[in-house]
Amino acid sequence: MLFNKYFAKYYLKYWICFLIGIIALVAVDFFQLEIPDVVGEVIDGLRYKTLTKDVLFSLSKKMFFVAFMVFVGRFIWRICIFGNAVKIEADIRNDMFNHMIKLSQEKFSKNKTGAIMALYTNDLNSIRQIFGMGTMMSVDALALGILAFYKMLKLNVTLALASLVPLLIVLVISNIVGRIIRRKSLLNLKAYSELSDFVQEDYMGIGVIKAFVKEKLKLKQFEKYNQKNMDTCIAFTKDNIFVNVLISAILTTIASLIILIGGYYIYKGATNTSTTFTIGELTKFSSYFGSLVWPIMAIGQLINLSSQGQASAKRILDLLNEEVEINDLAADSSISEIKGDITFNHLSFSYPGSDKTVLDDVTFKINSGEFVGLMGSTGSGKTTLVDLLVRMYNVNENTILIDDNDIMTIPLSLLRDSIAYVTQESFLFKNTISSNICFSMEKDDEDVAKKYAILSDVDKDIEEFSEGYNTYVGERGVTVSGGQKQRISIARALLKEAPILVLDDSLSAVDIITEEAILKRLRTIRSGKTTILIAHRISTLKKLDKIVVLNDGKVDGIGTHETLLETNEIYKREVKLQELEKEAGEYDYDKN
């Protein structure tokens, strides 16, 4: 059972259904203990020749009634208890997902995809088993155990007390072995997470593996992870089997002793009329003890289930207890609109857990409606700058201002809804092209998708596909080219019609003619709206209103193409390099 504050709330949420299920389960236990009474009466009736037709008919009716009540009761408790377990599993899965989408990028860099997916499969399954099978075992073991022992006491006190021996032994074993099983369960869950993560990563990088002919190496590595998962699973299973076998051996021994002692009482009763213990009563007692076997066995299974559940609960709680760092605690609800003025005011930033300064005293302003370019070498901080603009990470107070409002005070939903961001690695969902473009809409609209596909110059490419806009692009868009993926992503961003548009090197995979066509359209449809382009091509940057040159996390220069040619060495050197490439015939940056 799980009585942690988080998990306990579900017992309260579904208490009515749990209560109905528990009542039905106890009723089943009560009625099924009537069966030994009937069997015992039949045996004694045959033995002492007291079983008349009327008595037999009455006992038959009783058996049919008991069978009917057991059938109905089992149906009800399974619907209520197991049904509740499925509902709780769904609730916890929703809580986990809702919490995860609020976590910062840092959390996802620490928790790999395979390990996270293991939480949603193995661990949640263990939690469902605890709420379902665990609840059933706990109630059934208690109710059936008490009822059976009460009936055993009424028949024979000595035999009943002797039957308590296995229960006491099982409780001692449970306390000792339960801790060992819990520890081994954690090791197995960890091994499964590592295996899942390895498989997920290799499937995503299958193209690279094949290109470098590393299939055999990866197979050996897989065997290593798989072997570790198997070894931890076997170690866990061995302990579990050991407990069950030990309990079975104890119960078999006690059952044999009951037959032996009961037989002695019957023999003694045959020679001494003051001591009576009939064959029918021994049959009843053995049946009651047989009913008591399940509760005692259930304790052993409950140890296993509880150990797995506790281990899984800890892993899930570790995730749910992760702090949501990107939040609206400082949000000003009076801010309801963003126009597009952006100010970076002595912004410095280091990634959490790192001492390296990625951005150092960055200061410049972007006026609403401007087309601004960011350029610089790899690692100069361009992507980090725009990531901070959409608050992928928190920043210091008053270091980023939008419309003169501190970005930390702008409601997160308003901020991100007001910025259309095409990331450096264009991402498409495994869906139709139309669905990907209309991602910001509640429903797909092929006409709308087509409108913005034309603006991003990808409409002709889409029309060439056999199913047009209804073409499925595959996982992460693997079935379309890099340039098509970028332009579909741009169409998705343009549809948002946000006050601020950020394109992070989003034209790198298209040719110069296509790039020029897209930039011309952007100038038209984005008039009066802020647009930020991260680019390396001078042909992309030269016609923008302002260019910001970053170097090693610092602003090295700000100005137009002409101004930077005269004042900035980094920009001037990049222009010369690209001119040399142009002369060599690698690029034609000025082709229109």
Instruction: Give the containing element (helix H, strand E) for 438.
Output: none
Query: Does the pLDDT value for residue 275 go beyond 60?
Result: no
97-114: b or e for each residue (b if 16 or more CB lie within 10 Å)? Answer: eeebeebbebbeeebbeb
pLDDT for 270: 52
Q: Is 366 within a domain?
A: yes
Q: Is 511 within a domain?
A: no
pLDDT for 587: 46
Query: Does the pLDDT value for residue 161 go beyond 50?
Result: yes
298 phi, psi to nearest 5 deg = -65, -35
Cβ pair 449, 494 in contact under 8 A: no
Q: Are residues 215 and 66 in the same domain?
A: yes
Instruction: Give the containing element (helix H, strand E) for 530.
Output: strand 530-534
Query: Does the pLDDT value for residue 549 go beyond 70?
Result: yes
Q: Alpha carbon of 530 to those of 266, 362, 457, 566: distances in Å?
A: 98, 19, 21, 26
Residue 87, SS3 per DSSP: helix
pLDDT for 175: 66
Distance CA 26, CA 93 (A): 31
Give residue 111's Cα distance to chain centre. 11
DSSP state of 104: -
Q: Which of 125-139, 287-301, 310-324 has the lowest mean pLDDT?
A: 287-301
Q: Are residues 167 and 61 in the same domain?
A: yes
Over residues 549-573, the mean pLDDT reads 90
Which CATH number fits the domain that encloses residue 346?
A: 3.40.50.300
Q: Which of 294, 320, 346 is the last residue of a domain?
A: 320
Given the structure tokens 């222009």, which residue do they identify?
575
Q: Is 167 within a domain?
A: yes
Q: Are residues 313 and 371 in the same domain?
A: no
Distance CA 475, CA 207 (A): 13
Higher pLDDT, 256 or 44: 256
Cβ pair 229, 282 in contact under 8 A: no
Distance CA 552, CA 381 (A): 7
Q: Is 170 within a domain?
A: yes
Q: Are residues 92 and 229 in the same domain?
A: yes
Query: Does the pLDDT value for residue 20 go beyond 60?
Result: yes
Higher pLDDT, 7 or 243: 7
pLDDT for 409: 92
Amino acid identity of 518? I
Q: Which of 265-269, 291-295, 463-467, 526-530 has the lowest mean pLDDT?
A: 265-269
pLDDT tens-digit readout, 315-330:
888 888 888 888 888 8
DSSP state of 187: H
Q: Is 513 within a domain?
A: no
Query: Does the pLDDT value for residue 591 go beyond 50?
Result: no
Q: Are residues 313 and 339 in the same domain?
A: no
Q: Is 295 within a domain?
A: yes
Q: Which of 401, 408, 386 is nearest to 341 (CA)?
A: 401
Q: Which of 267, 297, 320 is the last residue of a domain?
A: 320
DSSP assignment string, 345-369: EEEEE--TT----SEEEEEEEE-TT
Neighbours of 201 (CB within 10 A): 12
Number of domains in the chain: 3
pLDDT for 584: 66
Cβ pair 370, 543 in contact under 8 A: no
- Is residue 347 very low, low, confident or very high in pLDDT (cuts 50, 70, 90)? very high
Give residue 280's Cα distance to chain centre. 56
Over residues 271-282, the mean pLDDT reads 62
Q: Are residues 254 and 289 in the same domain?
A: yes
pLDDT for 548: 93
Q: Is 592 within a domain?
A: no
Provide the CB-side half-sphere exposure for 539 (13 A, CA): 23
- The parent domain of residue 278 ranges over 5-320
pLDDT for 457: 87
Q: Which of 228-242, 251-265, 465-479 has the lowest mean pLDDT?
A: 251-265
pLDDT tens-digit readout, 53-84:
777 777 788 888 888 998 999 999 999 999 99
pLDDT for 408: 92
Nearby residues of 561 by Cβ (< 8 Å), 6 or more positions away: 538, 541, 542, 543, 544, 547
Token pair of 460 as six digits: 């002709």
pLDDT tens-digit readout, 393-410:
888 999 999 999 999 999
150 phi, psi to nearest 5 deg = -60, -45
Q: Are residues 61 and 122 in the same domain?
A: yes
Widest Cα–Cα separation across the chain: 123
Q: Are residues 357 and 435 in the same domain?
A: no
Q: Alpha carbon of 365 to those of 55, 267, 345, 546, 567: distances in Å?
A: 99, 104, 8, 10, 19
552 phi, psi to nearest 5 deg = 55, 40
Q: Which of 202-206, 214-218, 545-549 has the lowest mean pLDDT?
A: 202-206
Q: Which of 263, 285, 320 is the last residue of a domain?
A: 320
Give residue 417's Cα distance to chain centre. 25
pLDDT for 141: 82
Distance CA 355, CA 200 (A): 31
Q: Are residues 52 and 123 in the same domain?
A: yes
Please give the model's pTM, rounded to 2 decimal places: 0.69
Higher pLDDT, 285 or 391: 391
Q: Is 590 within a domain?
A: no
**Alpha helices (runs of H) in 33-134, residue ranges in sequence order:** 34-47, 53-77, 83-100, 105-110, 113-118, 124-129
Nearby residues of 300 by Cβ (< 8 Å), 6 or more positions away: 170, 173, 174, 243, 244, 247
Higher pLDDT, 389 or 157: 389
pLDDT for 343: 93
Q: Are residues 332 and 411 in the same domain?
A: yes
Q: Are residues 391 and 477 in the same domain?
A: no
Token pair of 186 as six digits: 């954690």
Distance CA 221, CA 96 (A): 31
Q: Are residues 168 and 228 in the same domain?
A: yes
Over residues 551-560, the mean pLDDT reads 91
Computed over every residue of the chain, the mean pLDDT equals 82
DSSP state of 379: T
Distance CA 127, CA 130 (A): 5
Q: Which of 478, 351, 374 is nearest to 426 (CA)?
A: 478
Q: Which of 23, 35, 37, 26 is nearest to 67 (CA)?
A: 35
Which CATH number fits the domain that encloses residue 272?
A: 1.20.1560.10
Cβ pair 554, 591 in contact under 8 A: no
DSSP state of 272: -
